Amino acid sequence: MAYLIFGHLLIPLRIKGSSMEPTYHNGGVNFCWTLGYLFSRPVRHDVVLVRLAGKRVVLMKRVVAVEGEGVAFRDGKLFVNGSMVNEPYVRYPCNWNLGPRRVKNGYIYVVGDNRSMYMEDHSFGQTPIERIAGVPLW
């Protein structure tokens, strides 16, 4: 039973890195709730866990746009379909500039909350929905 729960449903996580500061801290613990999108799909502002080759190592990012939407950054502000999006979870100054691009069908666009680092040093972008391993439990 413990194997079923903690091996497949509520997978323990230890957070490494600062890309989701100040929302989630380096060294923090959480669980990946793998059934978070059993009956729904990710929407803007959701925090999701993106799997790589498996579920043992995942990327924690926030959804900023969904399929079909246009995404851009101008002077650190997020624009979706030409309109600026209010992001209260972004607390550190940001000066990113990224030209508009469309989110492909079946994809979502994810970015970390910590945008104080150089844009080139931050992993973000669109990823297939199938790569979403789950959501953090808190």
Partner 1 sequence: MKVRYLIIALLLVISGVVVLVYVLQSEEHKIKRRFTSLAKWASKEEGENNLTMVQKTRSIGSLCAKTCYIKAPGTTFSGTYSSQQISALAARARLPFTSLSLRFDDLHIEVTGQQGATVRVTAQLLGTQKRGERVDDTRELECRLHKAEGKWLFTHFALIEVLER
Residues 6+ apart with CB under 8 A from 98: 71, 72, 73, 119
Give the whole-angstrom CA distance, residue 81 versus residue 100.
9
Spell out, one character per residue from 11 to 50, where the chain touches partner 1: x when CB under 8 A holds, - when not.
-----xx--------------------------------x
- Selected from 9, 35, 43, 52, the binder of partner 1 by CB under 8 A is 52
Cα separation, 7 vs 34, in Å, equals 10
CA dist., res. 37 & res. 91, Å (int): 27
Among 124, 132, 134, 136, binds partner 1 (CB under 8 A): 124
91 binds partner 1 (CB under 8 A): no
**74 part of the interface to partner 1, by CB under 8 A:** no
Shortest Å distance, C-beta 4 to partner 1: 19
